[in-house]
Chains A and B, each alone.
Chain A
């Protein structure tokens, strides 16, 4: 019985009296291992799925396969686990912003199954985002089980994401940087250390189970300064491709939402369209890692027009899969599109200026991948480290940095928020730690209410009121109805100043006559951002808080400043 109780409340274990950092590192190892395992499982099941479906490839009706897969995945998400489609990364960022990284347990497996159905059947999507969300959900639920607080939970969510990315790409630094740059958004040692440990754990698990292999190994490139300059053109091109992909994804999403009909039917329509494209251009199907490998290795012998067409087709197929309700991420499609764009650019350059000594097409494919990842995620560091690690190509670091930086800047110029963050920013849900929006969303009206106001009655004479003024500390006096106790209005010191020194008025004026009835009031549930906006517009310094017609207290800018500063100090400084 005692043992049972011990397992029921693990927060009571002595280990939790340990140092906070040490505890997080221990947890990070567990989380990293679990999320690494999840990504290995997805990887294996995708392989098994494609092997199993290989026999059907020769049939004429093969184009319905993606439709069936997408429809099944949509049905599974909607009916069985009751979760939304899409790639899930914004969901993780949203929960980190608003709910301290609280995620449902079922998220840790739901996306694995649905994306396996979508991608395995040929849909154009990536397995990374589903792995990220399940890793994050594993981290969150482990934190919940051990009753950790929000900050620790957010770190563990980051650990889960880091472990997942590290494991699926065999790329520990990329996993770490992705988790910090995109998911957590806070470069602090309290976060970085556990996330790094989780990345190591995730990578190690994948290496033990699948061997230490670099996903897209390549030959050594030879390139000179000319190619470094040429890559600026590639950056522009990949920025254009990123914008195109973002825009098509969003327009497909809105288009599919205009259609009435069940979700699974929409997903099936999208999948069917992908299947038809796939009949002519099989390159667009699935996560496309073989394609990337062929492009980097220079084994892709098609001409300029075909590669350019393939890039567009892949963009369309990705938009059709994800926008119409399939499940999966944009990481892998980005890699495929990027390498296609890079090879297109290389063909274009050699056509334009065949005498120059261009580096081979693998070099440009690699840079294109970095460009697309940086452009879509608007996370240059993730792009740089991911490409270096998955290709093992440290010698291209210089042009890689140039492409990543230029693409990110260009994309940021046209689309201020990245694909992941766009919806969140539009709805005001992106709350990075230490920002104004975060502080204001953490503080709430009930915490700021000042209750030491003296409430007066409507039928009180000014003479009695003068005595009350003598005793009060405040300039505001709320007025209540005699019988009902409802809030009627407020008297400010300024309202009575003209009458206060005229004793003749003392017995002639009732408070109901001088009170201000047209006052802006605040409800305790109001958003502080909204309250402050009201104050700014009307030039107010205090507002009464009223709930169910009853006066609760006063909220003032002075108190807000005090609390805001304390909150900011606690959130940021060290």
Chain B
């Protein structure tokens, strides 16, 4: 494979001007002839190793820079589904009821998931106010979930979730993600939606899933527009 000077500069993570100067000064084993540069890749690699300079081919650099595009709310919510009429009078029973009803990947221990959620609840309540709670495990679960899952659960009757504003919680978004990055990304988007009072009022009506998802889709559009501006 032939390398260009630009690629060499990328490999070394240096500006092209520096590589050009090094060639002129004879510090790098690249020769300049009347019809271009003569780059010997293996010699170059050997040279970089000798001087302990970082050197990796642009292909590798490309895969590193191609950041994994973070998924938005809607696919995660579709995966998690919506549960109605969760029974219970306190946090434990409500969470247990929700976990029992959740669609989870095969081989997932519901008991373990419940314990994780409860553990987090003991640290501090996930009731973020306005009657909304976002239960989630303290640490991400990369072994269980390849992609994030949000299950929306409407309670049969509002319960005391020890939320920060002491209001009774009537809806839960159970947020399960493979990494902290996904978690924060989705949490930030979700809190944007909940900040809208009209949306909270809309949730109080226990809407059916299609209306609910279309509402979420509207929010997503708003968020994307704000991101791109």
Residues of A bordering B, CB below 8 Å: 9, 11-12, 16-17, 20, 100, 147-152, 442, 446-447, 467, 563, 566, 569-571, 573-574
B2 within 8 A of A: no
Residues A570 and B22 in contact, CB atoms below 8 Å apart:
yes
Bound form: Cα–Cα A152–B31 in Å: 12
Query: Is there contact, CB below 8 Å, between B24 and A569?
Result: no
Specify which of B24, B25, B33, B53 lies most central, judged by the most chain A CB atoms within 10 Å of its CB.
B25
Which residues on the B side are within 8 Å of A570 (C-beta)?
22, 27-28, 51, 53
Instruction: Say whether B26 contacts A12, CB under 8 Å.
Output: no
Q: How far is the CB of B184 from chain A (nearest CB, A)?
A: 13
Nearest chain A residue, comparing its CB with the CB of B12:
A566
Task: Tell me, in angstroms, the Cα distance from A147 to B31 when the chains sit together.
Answer: 10
Q: Which residues of B contact A147 (CB under 8 A)?
A: 32-33
Q: Is the CB of B50 within 8 A of A574?
A: yes
**By the criterion CB–CB under 8 Å, are B226 and A566 in contact?**
no
Closest to B52 in A: A569
Instruction: A574 to B27: give the CA distance in the assembly, Å.
Output: 11
Q: Report if B61 contacts A (CB, 8 A).
A: no
Tally inter-chain residue pairs, CB-CB below 8 A: 56
Contacts of A574 in B (CB 8 A): 50
Complex A-B, nearest 9 residue pairs according to Cβ-Cβ distance, in ascending order: A149-B26, A151-B26, A150-B25, A570-B27, A9-B34, A447-B18, A447-B17, A569-B51, A447-B15
Return B37 CB to nearest CB of chain A, in Å.
12
Closest Cβ of chain A: how far from B70's Cβ, in Å? 14
Shortest distance from the beta carbon of A191 to any chain B beta carbon, whole Å: 12
Q: List chain A residues, Cβ under 8 A from B50.
A: 574
Which residues in window 8-50 of B have CB below 8 A to A? 12, 14-15, 17-18, 21-29, 31-35, 38, 50
* Bound Cα distance from A149 to B25, whole angstroms: 5
Q: A467 to B226, Cβ gap below 8 A? A: yes
Check B52–A152 contact: CB distance below 8 A: no
Q: What are the residues of chain B within 8 A of A563 when measuring CB–CB? A: 14, 18
| Alpha-carbon separation in the docked complex, A574 to B29 (Å) | 14
Complex Cα gap A570–B12 (Å): 12
| C-alpha gap A482/B32 in the complex (Å) | 45
For A567, the closest partner residue in chain B by CB is B18
CB-based contact B51/A573 at 8 Å: yes
Contact B26 A150 (CB under 8 A): yes
Q: CB distance A442 to B25 under 8 Å?
A: yes
A147 and B34 CA atoms in complex are apart in Å by 10
Contact residues in A for B38 (Cβ distance below 8 Å):
17
A446 partner residues in chain B, CB cutoff 8 A: 17
Chain A residues within 8 Å of B21, by CB: 442, 447
- Which chain B residues lie closer than 8 Å to A12 at the CB level? 33-35
Q: Can you list 28 pairs linking A and B with CB atoms under 8 Å apart?
A: A9-B33, A9-B34, A11-B32, A12-B33, A12-B34, A17-B31, A20-B29, A100-B24, A147-B33, A148-B26, A149-B23, A149-B24, A150-B24, A150-B25, A150-B26, A151-B25, A442-B21, A467-B226, A467-B229, A563-B14, A563-B18, A566-B14, A566-B53, A569-B51, A569-B53, A570-B51, A571-B27, A573-B52
Q: How far is the CA of A535 from the CA of B29 in the complex (A)?
A: 35
| Chain B positions within 8 Å of A9 at CB level | 33-34
Other contacts beyond A147-B33, A148-B26: 15, CB < 8 A: A9-B33, A11-B32, A11-B34, A16-B31, A20-B29, A149-B24, A149-B25, A151-B25, A151-B27, A446-B17, A447-B17, A447-B18, A566-B12, A569-B51, A569-B53
CA distance A563 to B53 in the complex (A): 11
Q: Least Cβ distance of A459 to chain B in Å?
A: 17
Nearest B residue (CB) for A13? B33
Q: Give the residues in chain B near A442, CB-CB below 8 Å.
A: 21, 25
**Which chain B positions have C-beta within 8 A of A566?**
12, 14, 53
**Residue with the highest number of chain A CB atoms closer than 10 Å, among B26, B27, B28, B32:** B26
Contact A152 B28 (CB under 8 A): no
Q: Are A152 and B26 in contact (CB under 8 A)?
A: yes
Distance of A88 Cα from B137 Cα, bound (Å): 78
Cα distance, A100 to B33, chains bound together (Å)? 19
Q: In the docked arrangement, what's the CA distance between A447 and B20, Å?
A: 11
With CB as the reference atom, state the residue of chain B lying closest to A151.
B26
Residues 115-147 of chain B: 1 if any A CB is under 8 Å from the residue's CB, otherwise 0?
000000000000000000000000000000000
A-chain residues with CB within 8 Å of residue B15 when the two chains form the complex: 447
Chain A hits for B31, CB < 8 A: 16-17
Q: Which residues of B contact A571 (CB under 8 A)?
A: 27
List A contacts of B22 (CB < 8 A). 570
Give bound CA distance, A270 to B154, whole Å: 107
Contacts of A573 in B (CB 8 A): 51-52
Q: Which partner residue on chain B sits nearest A147 by CB separation?
A: B32
Q: Known A149-B26, A151-B25, A570-B27; judge A11-B33 contact (CB<8 A).
A: yes
B226 CB contacts on chain A under 8 angstroms:
467
Report the minimum CB–CB distance from B36 to chain A (whole Å).
11
